[in-house]
Structure 1
């Protein structure tokens, strides 16, 4: 039994090989495309998360406090808002006690109705040799993101 091939058989064989190669290329292309779509979906998800975080940050106030020295022996407690939103109903208290900040100044200024972005308020301090160097201060406020935020800060002399 001899195998004989004519021109038509050779062309059919080449067509079969070409078809197989084209099928293999299509499968590889589809895998790459699927991988690209998954990467694009992950990227879109991360962008959405970043947008959500940025949107939340736009509605948050961020209060801080420090003790500043003015002149040779004048000290003040400076409370500021470095967030992007206005802080409302700002309250201050001293969980470990207040031994140097003027109570009359605190009562006169707090609760503070609003503290805008980059705005600050100062409280006079009476510092002596017996005054401790670090003070625990609790700041509480409302903003557009959440009601009754709280932050504890430790300003030092």
Structure 2
């Protein structure tokens, strides 16, 4: 039987080795978390950059829409508005079967509209009757800072 004697230096060396292993484990775990944080920051920055670019491109874009508005029990108007961030220029309109419920001379007087600013609208008098269609195809065409050939078809219903 041999007697193993452990010196004080060997005990401290073993403790130092264990402490070093623990520190390495903690450092590796921290580096993984740091890497995940950096990746999520990069994704967030890329998303914010895309959002900023989209907002910048939308800043020069007009967005037109149309709907029927009822005023009282018998008055009806077709309201055309600009909900975009930029003014719409040279606004034109095409309505299938326009003579059915609209006055053609009023359309000819108001359109082409030179400028339709943001949140501005224009209204056309509508005179629906028992035999008129409930849904009308309205084609809106305009120019803005982003394009000179914008086109949108909406289907307002009575």
Give yes or no for TM over 0.5.
yes
- 1:35-82 per-residue CA deviation (whole Å, 9 max, x = no partner) reads 111111111111112222222332221111122334554432221111
* Correspondence 1:5-84 to 2 at 5 A: 5-70=6-71, 73-84=74-85
Question: Which residue number corresponds to residue 120 of structure 1?
Answer: 121
Rate the CA distance shift 1:69–1:33 in 2: closer, same or farther, 3 A.
closer
- From the superposition, tell whether residues 7 and 118 of structure 1 become closer, same or farther in structure 2 (CA, over 3 Å): same
SS at match of 1:3: coil
Please state whether the residue corresponding to 1:15 is helix, strand or coil: helix
User: Which residue is equivalent to 1:133?
Assistant: 134
Aligned residues: 156
C-alpha distance in structure 2 between counterparts of 1:43 and 1:84, whole Å: 25
When normalised by structure 2's length, the TM-score is: 0.87
| Distance across 1 between alignment mates of 2:36 and 2:20 | 24
Q: TM-score, normalised by structure 1?
A: 0.88
| Cα displacement (A) at 1:128 | 2.8
Is 1:155 the counterpart of 2:156? The answer is yes
Q: Deviations over 1:130-155 (max 9, x none)?
A: 22221111011112233322211112
- The whole-number CA distance in structure 1 between the counterparts of 2:76 and 2:29 is 71
Structure 2 distance, partners of 1:28, 1:50, is 33
Alignment partners' CA distance in 1, 2:82 and 2:129 = 28
Q: Structure 1 CA distance, aligned partners of 2:48 and 2:41?
A: 10
- In structure 2, runs of 5+ residues without a counterpart are none
Whole-Å separation in 1 of the counterparts to 2:93 and 2:34: 57
